[in-house]
Amino acid sequence: MNCFVMDHPLITHKVSLLKDKHTGTKDFKSIVKEISMLMCYEMTRDLPLRQMSIESPMGVIKTEFVAGKAMAFVPILRGGLGMLDGLLEVMPNAKVGHMGAYRDPETKKAVVYYCKLPDDIADREVIICDPMLATGSLAIETISELKKQGCENIKFFTLIANKQGVENVNKVHPDVTVYCASTVDGLDEKGFITDGFGDIGDRLFGTR
């Protein structure tokens, strides 16, 4: 699978806290932010560097800064919003787009109902954010929509990924790497991950 699993002990521990139904809204939101910050470092490991001269307290020196295309984060509403603050803590200059999508409960197909992206999205490296990848339908449609806008460098960032869902994404978009904290097996009859967080939007925003 084109999937990078970040199974660092600290990340694994925090994901387990998210699975606990007794974790309240305040802590849940804070932990999602913490995991997003930790994972952002690994997702951006391949960013190119360029050498520049600067004036340090000890004189003029040569050192390295991030080069290449600018970044953009695209959270899928609502759950992806919980990951955004952590990513922006690490890369505050990144632009942000928003994608509204849901999976039709009858057909199980993804429906995109909202799309607002930066005007220069095609010139940026894009990280799509969604806390859970189940069947992969939302990921596939979101990636397809971004490609229609001219995006060529796309990564998909999730916390838990169902293995079959990852394979589904790989089949349609083999050029997009999925970054996650863990992979699991098993979906219920509604297409939700059985070893997951429940409705992560409700848990993030206390709407249930």
pLDDT in tens, 106-163: 777 888 899 999 999 999 999 999 999 999 999 999 999 999 999 999 999 999 999 9
Q: Is the pLDDT of residue 20 over 70?
A: yes
Report the amino acid identity of residue 124: R
At residue 167, φ and ψ (nearest 5 deg) are: -60, -40
In angstroms, the CA 27 to CA 34 distance is 10
Cβ count within 10 A of residue 149 = 14
The architecture that CATH gives domain 3-47+60-205 is: 3-Layer(aba) Sandwich (3.40)
DSSP 193: B
Q: Compute the mean pLDDT over every residue in the chain, rounded to the nearest whole number.
A: 91
According to the model, what pLDDT value does residue 72 have? Answer: 97
According to the model, what pLDDT value does residue 195 have? Answer: 78
Q: Is the pLDDT of residue 176 over 80?
A: yes
pLDDT band for 1, please (50, 70, 90 cuts).
Answer: confident
pLDDT band for 191, please (50, 70, 90 cuts).
Answer: confident
According to the model, what pLDDT value does residue 141 have? Answer: 94
Q: Is the pLDDT of residue 208 over 70?
A: no
Comparing 36-40, 75-79, 113-117, 196-200, the range with the smallest average pLDDT is: 196-200
According to the model, what pLDDT value does residue 32 have? Answer: 95
Are 77 and 54 in contact by the 8 Å Cβ rule? The answer is: no
Q: How far is CA 206 from CA 65, 75, 79, 159, 202, in A?
A: 40, 19, 12, 19, 5
Task: Report the percentage of the chain scoring pLDDT > 70.
Answer: 100
Nearest to 134 by CA among 105, 100, 114: 105
Q: Is the pLDDT of residue 105 over 90?
A: no
Are 28 and 18 in contact by the 8 Å Cβ rule? The answer is: yes
138, two tokens: 């939302």
According to the model, what pLDDT value does residue 98 have? Answer: 96
**Which residues are within 8 A (CB) of 154 and not within 5 positions of it... i.e. 6 or more apart?**
125, 126, 127, 128, 143, 146, 147, 173, 175, 176
